[in-house]
Structure 1
Amino acid sequence: MRIEARIFGVIGLFLLVVAPTYWLMSHEIIGTVVLLLGLAFAGMLTVYLVIQARKMDLRAEDRKDAEIIEGVGELGFFPPKSLWPFWCALVVTIIALGPVFGWWLCLLGAAVGIWAVSGWCYEYYKGDYQH
């Protein structure tokens, strides 16, 4: 968490320098307000991450003497093959073409989309890769 706090701290310092410079050069209110809101956001994140870093034990990323193998976690499960992403991409295409060719395509895409997303979610409940 300490590295993340440093990153947002550097972003906050950058915005602290840029906001008054922007105001002095442009005298534009909205851009200055946006930069100041970005500064506030970075400051809030920095304070939160510093507080959380004090509560946690040091992670491998935060220690200088850590080995690379200490930072390795579970990689997760990756499916060997699946056609469901293709069907979901086709559904997104159909829905995107709906406003162009007719709103009925959006309804058709939504109906096929329910089937495609359900198939993708439940693909490991049956067949060769059943859990």
Structure 2
Amino acid sequence: MKIQGKMFLWLSAFILVMAVVYGVWSKEAAGTTALVMAFGLSVMIGFYLAFTARRVDVGAQDDKEADVADDAGEVGFFSPHSWQPLALGIGGALAFLAIAMGWWLLYFSAPLILVGLYGWVFEYYRGENQNQ
């Protein structure tokens, strides 16, 4: 985690320099403000990663002699048969399309998103997949 903190802090220094150059050169407030905010966000992430790196064990990414397999491990459990992400994807696409075409599309996308989210959360609490 130490290297990620350093990377974000170096990125924040670069973004600050670019914000100053962009602000002086273009004299445009919106882009300069966006770059200054990106600098702030990068500093927060870099500080958090550097701060927590001192409190956790050394990871494989901090060891110069480590192999790729040293960082391998369980990623998590993913349901192989779930249809809920499809419903969420279609609902999300319709919701974003509603911004461009018309807000009336939200009447169709909101139920899809809610049903998909409810189904995904409670997928293993009902039906044949219910834990005993």
Same fold (TM over 0.5): yes
1:123 match? 123
Say whether the 8 Å CA contact 2:2–2:62 is kept in structure 1: yes
1:50 match? 50
2:75 match? 75
Q: Tell me which moved more, 84-93 or 24-33.
A: 84-93
For 1:3 and 1:43, how far apart are their aligned partners in 2?
Answer: 14
Please tell me whether residue 64 in structure 1 is matched to residue 52 in structure 2. Answer: no
Structure 1's 123 and 2: CA in aligned 2 closer, same or farther, altered over 3 A? same
Fraction of identical pairs, as percent: 32
1:32 match? 32
Report deviation, 1:87.
4.1
Unaligned stretches of 5+ residues in structure 1: none
Size of the aligned set, in residue pairs, is 129
Say whether the 8 Å CA contact 2:97–2:105 is kept in structure 1: no
Indicate the structure (1 or 2) with the bigger Cα radius of gyration: 1
Task: Please report the TM-score for the alignment, with normalisation by the length of structure 2.
Answer: 0.68
Structure 1's 66 and 83: CA in aligned 2 closer, same or farther, altered over 3 A? same
Report deviation, 1:65.
1.8
Structure 1's 104 and 51: CA in aligned 2 closer, same or farther, altered over 3 A? closer
For 1:79 and 1:73, how far apart are their aligned partners in 2?
Answer: 18
1:3 match? 3
Structure 1's 31 and 83: CA in aligned 2 closer, same or farther, altered over 3 A? closer
For 2:30 and 2:55, how far apart are their aligned partners in 1?
Answer: 38
Letter in 2 for 1:67: D
SS at match of 1:124: helix
Describe the superposition over 1:22-47 as per-residue Cα deviations: whole angstroms up to 9, x where unpaired: 12312223432332232233223323
Letter in 2 for 1:23: G
Report deviation, 1:60.
0.9
